[in-house]
A and B are shown apart, each in its own frame.
Chain A
């Protein structure tokens, strides 16, 4: 059974600081996703990581994937208030009958304050 664990679950950051959110998963997969959710809103896709060593960056966010360690990281650089949200990682089920199913982590609630 695929399990996905994120840490930390709560993150309070000062503006301008850097921090990393970690996502560990339990079984083989080559597809890892990061989503953002604002309070009361739906989920927005941030990154799709498809191979070992993949790195993607968008603004102050950078995501990476290590399939050997079954670990993905979401690094936040010089945080700003607009980044306050809940961040989820999600792992794709392997195999021909996966049909796009994803297993999500618990989510990390990020608050950026002055």
Chain B
């Protein structure tokens, strides 16, 4: 049982390049999320998907697009990377257990934009 799997773990891009971060969960969870983590700012929500076929903006969506390909997979795309998008990206999925959400996080993807 792998939980939440993210790829790649590390990536270096040049300004203007595009890339897609992949995320898959094998826990049959409905909701999935993409967060970015920057020093001193905690984790900020980029996009989320409440269920297969739906996506919505979070707190910091500009410069990103997402696709909920199926119930398992939720990808994050940077169409034209900028240095401000240098960050650690975490995918998470959510289950409802005993009256509370339980977020399970992936290992993270460290992105550097030069």
Within 8 A of A (CB), among B44-61: 44-45, 48, 50, 56, 58-59
- The answer to whether B99 touches A92, judged by C-beta atoms less than 8 angstroms apart, is no
Which candidate, A12-20, A64-72, A74-82, A95-103, is the interface stretch facing chain B?
Answer: A95-103
Interface flag for A4 (CB, 8 Å): yes
**B49 nearest in chain A by CB position:** A99
Contacts of B100 in A (CB 8 A): 31, 48, 50, 92
Contacts of B33 in A (CB 8 A): 100-101
Contacts of B48 in A (CB 8 A): 99-101
- The answer to whether A42 touches B106, judged by C-beta atoms less than 8 angstroms apart, is yes
Q: How many A-B residue pairs have CB under 8 A?
A: 59
How many residues of chain A get a CB closer than 8 Å to chain B's CBs? 22
- Name the distance in Å between A13's Cβ and chain B's nearest Cβ: 20
Binding site of B, secondary structure by majority: helix, strand, loop or mixed? strand
- The answer to whether B31 touches A100, judged by C-beta atoms less than 8 angstroms apart, is yes
How many residues of chain B get a CB closer than 8 Å to chain A's CBs? 26
Which candidate, B16-24, B35-43, B66-74, is the interface stretch facing chain A?
Answer: B35-43
* Cβ proximity bits A3-26 to B, threshold 8 Å, 1 near / 0 not: 010000100000000000000000
Interface flag for A45 (CB, 8 Å): yes
